[in-house]
């Protein structure tokens, strides 16, 4: 694996995988994102993104996805945790979304998952 890559095995790509996370996952709401989290048996985390038109036009939606993927890839907040994560940006997300905001939201998600209740 390339050190700066985002391989397919770390992405949620199929519709049924998204539906499984939405049906069986735990919802964690932060200020700018709604995260759906579900343990998986793979041993590594996978990220899926759902960005609606309410967030903005195509350019804005793609920018939000790039920033969130990059924060997931660089910060590696979920290393060692086998889980599927679906991230849904909320309308309150400032545009253009700063990288640090996405990284902090992922860190908050990890804190809440590993907290006293867990997933």
pTM, 2 dp = 0.84
pLDDT single digits (tens) 20-69: 999 998 999 988 899 999 998 888 889 999 999 988 899 988 999 989 98
How far is residue 58 CA from its own chain's centroid?
19
Nearest to 7 by CA among 52, 42, 59: 42
DSSP 98: P
Place of tokens 């991230």: 87
Domains of the chain are 26-113 (3.30.230.10)
Please give the pLDDT value at position 75. Answer: 79
The two three-digit tokens of residue 56, written as one number: 């903005």
DSSP 100: H
CA distance 13 to 35: 16
Ramachandran area for residue 87 (φ above 0: left; ψ -120 to 50: alpha; else beta): beta
Range name among 53-62, 77-86, 104-113 with the lowest pLDDT average: 77-86
pLDDT mean over 65-75: 87
Cβ-contact 101, 27 below 8 angstroms? no
Please give the pLDDT value at position 87. Answer: 93
Cβ-contact 87, 51 below 8 angstroms? no
Please give the pLDDT value at position 37. Answer: 93
Radius of gyration of the chain (CA): 13
């Amino acid at each position: 694996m390339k050190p700066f890559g985002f391989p397919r095995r770390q992405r949620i790509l199929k519709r049924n995988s998204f539906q499984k996370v939405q049906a069986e996952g735990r919802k964690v709401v932060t200020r700018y994102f709604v995260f759906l989290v579900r343990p998986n048996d793979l041993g590594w985390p996978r990220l899926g993104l759902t960005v609606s038109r309410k967030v903005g036009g195509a350019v804005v939606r793609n920018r939000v996805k790039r920033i969130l993927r990059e924060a997931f890839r660089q910060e590696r907040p979920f290393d060692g945790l086998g889980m599927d994560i679906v991230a849904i940006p909320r309308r309150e997300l400032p545009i253009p979304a700063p990288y640090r905001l996405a990284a902090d939201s992922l860190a908050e998600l990890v804190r809440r998952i590993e907290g006293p209740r867990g997933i």
